[in-house]
Amino acid sequence: MVSDDQQKQDAQSPGDGPAQPDLEHLNAAFTHVDEGVKSGKIAAGAAKGLVYSLVETLGALVGDPDLPEHARSGYVGLLEAARELRARLDR
């Protein structure tokens, strides 16, 4: 079993600040929810909750002053796509 301290160390690169969630993983989560909504395989209420979580997470990342600008643009694009999906679900 791995201790919490070890997990925190593994999540950080040596000498770097806290590790940021991988954009590819967040994009995969968004794509999964989007495809589930389009195919009708996920309930709208569940999709709303998942999209809410994605929007909140991405919003926090975009607001991080330590986030490099080149990384910020990817998170901003995904945040806009998540907001559009949220608007579609609200209709």
- Residue listed under structure tokens 């395989």: 41
CB under 8 A, 24+ apart: contacts of 62-68 = 64/20, 66/17, 67/20
Burial of 79 (0-12, 13-18, 19+ CB in 10 A): buried
> Is position 2 within any domain?
no
With beta carbons less than 8 A apart as the criterion, state whether 18 and 12 touch: yes
The whole-number pLDDT of residue 70 equals 84
> Is position 76 within any domain?
yes
Q: How many domains does the chain have?
A: 1
Full residue range of the structural domain in which residue 27 is found = 20-90
CATH number of 34's domain:
1.20.58
pLDDT, mean of each 10-residue run, the chain (91 residues): 47 49 88 93 92 93 89 91 93 85
* Termini Cα distance of the chain: 46
Predicted TM-score (pTM) of this structure? 0.71
The whole-number pLDDT of residue 84 equals 94
